[in-house]
Chain A
Amino acid sequence: MSLKKGLPVKTLFYLTGAVVLAALPILIRSNYWIGTVNLAIIYSIAVLGLNIILGLTGQLNIAQAAFWGIGAYTAALLNTRLGWPFWATFLVAPPTAAAFGVILGFPTLRLSGRYLAMATIGFGIIINLILHNWKEFTGGVDGIPGIASPVLGPLRFSTNASFYYLAIVCLILAALTQVRIKNSRMGRAFQAIKDNELAAELSGVDTFKYRVVAFALCSAYGGLAGQLFAHRTKYVSAETFFIDMSILFICMLMIGGAGSVAGSIVGASLLTFISVWLRFLQGLWAMAIFGLASVVIMIFMPTGLAGLAKSVGAKMAVRFRPDLQKERAELPQEVSH
């Protein structure tokens, strides 16, 4: 049975995935929906960042929209004022956002839970006020128009379909990077801090350092998402990067499954499309529905869609593979709660 070998199934799965992803613009055709896919990819990268700080490290950060905005404005300013091309802003925007992540992460080291949440909300609002009111620098309410499309040699990524290929490569690299981080000693340090900060410190983890690193990585992902966003929409304005987007990113992560790389992407994509379908309800109603869905999911399915898929997958595996049944029976059963 090919199932037992494992490897060919996996290779086949990845090949099919690659073909589908490569053919997606041809399959979809509609320019509008490809544009929506691009938005879903950008949101996925921002949510992947949130997954590091909230999903892995367990620190509630309600400022991801601010980091997203910092990345977008960094790209917009460098491109429109100094004429830097996409590739240059690509290298500068994520580190710039990461530097702001350190600025937020360092003074909040001794905060956790709701106190940290409030500090991050404050940070998000301050950044948004600066974007709104520092007219000479950020263009104020008018924002910054005229951001150039990415160009690589003879290739111009100016249409939605061409930009898609650029964005999907960024997302795949961002996801692979995160898988590696998650399965490393750094990822284990993050998860140790989430489960028990004191025990992490007394096991040898420099918890202060890794909390700041988690904030920096989270905001670097946010900055990359912002940089892509700026070059895709060719225009940025402050109200895009308000707190409602920070909360939407959190909903995306919770529904997809906090801690899961695939869950982050699925959650972000799902909510992007649902919010487009719910557009007739006006923005606030869509937010209310997402908020309610998040609460329901956190009560009944705290591990999100990723957790659901995992437990269904485990049950299916046991049903179809009797050899696993025995192994499972030998595992220690849950004792408490």
Chain B
Amino acid sequence: MTPGTQANTILEIHRLTKQFGGLVALDSVDLFLQTGEIRALIGPNGSGKTTLLNLVSGVYTPTQGSVLFKGRSVANKRPHLLVKEGMKRTFQSARLFRDLTVLENVMIGLHGQTKGGLAGIVLSLPGIKKEEGMICDKALEALQFVGLHAQAKALAKNLPYGQQRLLEIARALISNPSLLLLDEPAAGMNPSETSDLVRLLDRIRERGTTIFLVEHDMNLVMEISDFVTVLNFGRKIAEGSPTEIQNNEEVIQAYLGKKARYA
């Protein structure tokens, strides 16, 4: 392990920087995630939140700095390898396999943990049938967990938007990830769906999954998270408990502007 690592730190981000041409999307950000916590990442639009998630999950390569997942660097690892090591994520706008059924969408989430090969598939060997049955059972279990099991046979594209977001979470949960990255999970949800989501996130934490979420819905953030990290213009401007963040002068300025006055 690298110096400064604690045994229960699941994700370490050191001086992480990402430049797109001349634009600095993320500027030397440090961030440490403890196993079992729910951490929210907030900030105004364009502050670098999704860029950070993309760097952590291996979609982008950093310009500078490093990301360690379970003490090992994610550099030069393609995303599916990080999935194998226990990292899963969802997207800002649900990215589903629209022409497949709800069940099949979730089954794909277990791809990295299964290994049926061409010969076995073509010859329909017993091992393949057994594995397929196991994948199907686990997928139904994951659907049950998020409350979508009744829609298992529907096509993903026919689900209402709020349920599509839940389907994405089920697809992530099937492989029992140790770290779950959620990019605005409440976007497009109505208030009752959002309060269901809060309960769902609590239950995911109880399973032992660490949650790192980007979110705009402040009520949800303040209700659910143990710690909040705030970005503005690619820099980390504050970090602390939800109450600390709510009373942080710099955060209020970032969201409301410097000369905000209420008459």
Chain A interface (Cβ < 8 Å from any Cβ of B): 177, 180-181, 184-186, 188-189, 191-192, 194-196, 198-208, 213, 259, 331-336
**Is there an interface contact between B111 and A189, defined as CB atoms closer than 8 Å?**
yes
Q: How far is the CB of B140 from chain A (nearest CB, A)?
A: 15
Chain B residue, CB-CB nearest to A336: B157
Known contacts A181-B122, A185-B132: does B95 contact A198 (CB below 8 Å)? yes
Q: Do B158 and A205 touch across chains, with their CB atoms under 8 A apart?
A: no
Whether A195 lies near B111 (C-beta < 8 A) is no
Q: Chain A binding site: helix, strand, loop or mixed by DSSP?
A: helix
- For residue B13, give the distance in angstroms from its CB to the closest CB of chain A: 19
Complex CA–CA separation, A205 to B158 (angstroms): 24
B235 contact set on A, CB distance < 8 A = none
State which residues 128-149 of B face A: CB under 8 Å.
Answer: 128, 131-132, 135
Question: Within 8 Å of chain A (Cβ to Cβ): is B124?
Answer: yes
Flag if A335 contacts B83 (CB, 8 Å): no
B87-134: which have CB < 8 Å to A? 88-89, 91, 95-100, 104, 107-114, 116, 118, 121-122, 124, 128, 131-132
- In the complex, which residue of chain A has the Cβ closest to the Cβ of B115? A185
Q: Which residue of chain A has the shortest Cβ distance to B131 in the bound complex?
A: A185
Across the interface, A189 reaches (CB within 8 A) one of B79, B84, B88, B108, namely B108
Give which listed residue, B78, B110, B132, contacts A184 with CB less than 8 A: B132
A201 x B159 contact (CB < 8 A): no
A203 and B160 contacting across the interface, CB-CB below 8 Å: no
Interface contact A185-B154, CB-CB below 8 Å: no
Q: Verify A191–B99 contact, CB threshold 8 A.
A: yes
B57, A188: Cβ atoms closer than 8 Å = no
Cβ of A205 and Cβ of B112 under 8 Å apart? yes
Indicate whether A186 sits within 8 Å of B83 (C-beta atoms), given known contacts A192-B97, A204-B111: no
9 A-B contact pairs sorted by A residue (CB < 8 Å): A181-B121, A185-B108, A186-B121, A188-B107, A196-B95, A202-B57, A202-B83, A204-B111, A205-B112
CB distance from B88 to the nearest CB of A (A): 8
Q: Given the interface contacts A205-B108, A206-B78, does A195 sit within 8 Å of B160 by beta carbon?
A: no
Q: Is B216 an interface residue (CB 8 A)?
A: no
- Judge whether B218 is part of the interface by a CB distance below 8 angstroms: no
- CB A11 to nearest CB in B, in angstroms, measures 19
Determine if A184 and B79 form an interchain contact, defined as CB atoms under 8 angstroms apart: no
A185-B108, A208-B78 given; 17 more Cβ-contact pairs under 8 Å: A184-B116, A185-B111, A185-B121, A189-B108, A191-B99, A192-B97, A198-B91, A200-B97, A200-B108, A201-B80, A203-B171, A204-B109, A204-B112, A205-B80, A332-B151, A332-B158, A335-B160
Interface residues of B in 193-252 (CB under 8 A from A): none
CA distance A22 to B81 in the complex (A): 49
B contact residues around A180 at 8 Å (CB):
121-122, 124
Decide if B59 is an interface residue (CB 8 Å cutoff). Answer: yes
Report yes or no: B158 in contact with A333, Cβ–Cβ below 8 A. yes
Q: CA of A186 to CA of B171 in the docked complex: distance in angstroms? A: 17
A332-B159, A335-B158 as given contacts; A195 in contact with B124, CB under 8 Å? no
CB distance from B242 to the nearest CB of A (A): 28
Q: How many angstroms from the CA of A196 to the CA of B98 in the assembled complex?
A: 9
CB-contact partner of B100 in A184, A191, A213, under 8 A: A191
Of B95, B110, B111, B157, the most chain A CB neighbours within 10 A belong to B111
Q: Given A205-B111, A332-B154, verify A184-B121 contact (CB < 8 Å).
A: yes
The chain B residue sitting closest to A193, CB to CB, is B97
What residues of B have a CB within 8 angstroms of the CB of A198 in the complex? 59, 91, 95
Which chain B residues lie closer than 8 Å to A207 at the CB level? 80
Give Cα A333–Cα B154 distance, bound, in whole angstroms: 9
Q: Please, which residues of chain A bring their CB within 8 A of the CB of B116?
A: 184-186
Check B161 for interface membership: any CB of A closer than 8 A: yes
> Contact: B98 with A195, CB < 8 Å?
yes
Contact B80 A331 (CB under 8 A): no
Q: How far, in angstroms, from A242 to B245 measured CA to CA in the complex?
A: 67
- CA distance in complex: A336, B158 (Å): 8
When C-beta atoms are compared, the residue in chain A nearest to B100 turns out to be A191
Cβ A331 vs Cβ B158 within 8 A: yes
Query: Is B175 part of the contact surface with A, judged by Cβ < 8 Å?
Result: yes
Judging by beta carbons under 8 Å apart, are A332 and B160 in contact?
yes
> In the complex, what distance in Å separates the CA atom of A201 from the CA atom of B84?
11
| Bound Cα distance from A195 to B155, whole angstroms | 13
* Nearest chain A CB to B94 CB, angstrom units: 9
